[in-house]
A and B are shown apart, each in its own frame.
Chain A
């Protein structure tokens, strides 16, 4: 499992960073219901490959030749299974350049 680099106390409904669009746009909201599929979105224009997300979500992400996160399944937005939602939220919160968001 992931290393406890950041607190896992926070709930999975923490708002995504950025412009707060999620609160007004249902299609991109982060308030995941249990049945909905949640995906981890990487803003590549922000990401500079610090690698915390790959440490927190080793089940879903590894790192490429240059240190940037890479979806193990090769998908564009990474599907997050229910069991890993807490860790995905941690990764979103831990990203130092706010490059990660969760979407439904």
Chain B
């Protein structure tokens, strides 16, 4: 058994207090469960990043709105097609260093690595569409009510078997 990951290793200052406080506030919930329907080597996989990644040709995530009201975060999402490279995107997230994934998109959305796993026949396929939203959403209601249903529709239309969520 590997050593346990330290949840506070990279959490600075006031954020450690926030994390502890938010952990205590989470209600006990029944955990949903959908078993994997086929072996990984036959699965179509989609990635979702909370990095606020958008194609340069798409509208940015709204950072000005968050500067006006720091309790608010842009609850929309963007599609990042399979094959997208770092020089085709911008990272719109004021709570991380955006320059890392702008140098190498695989830091947050490992599309090239997924292609390699498909090539190696360890994974069935990479979905045509992958997704990003901006993870600073203190009030997630609009995201869960309006944005997520649209993402679900896309996932279904591309017959995705497995979604991997990658935090920023």
Partners in one complex: no
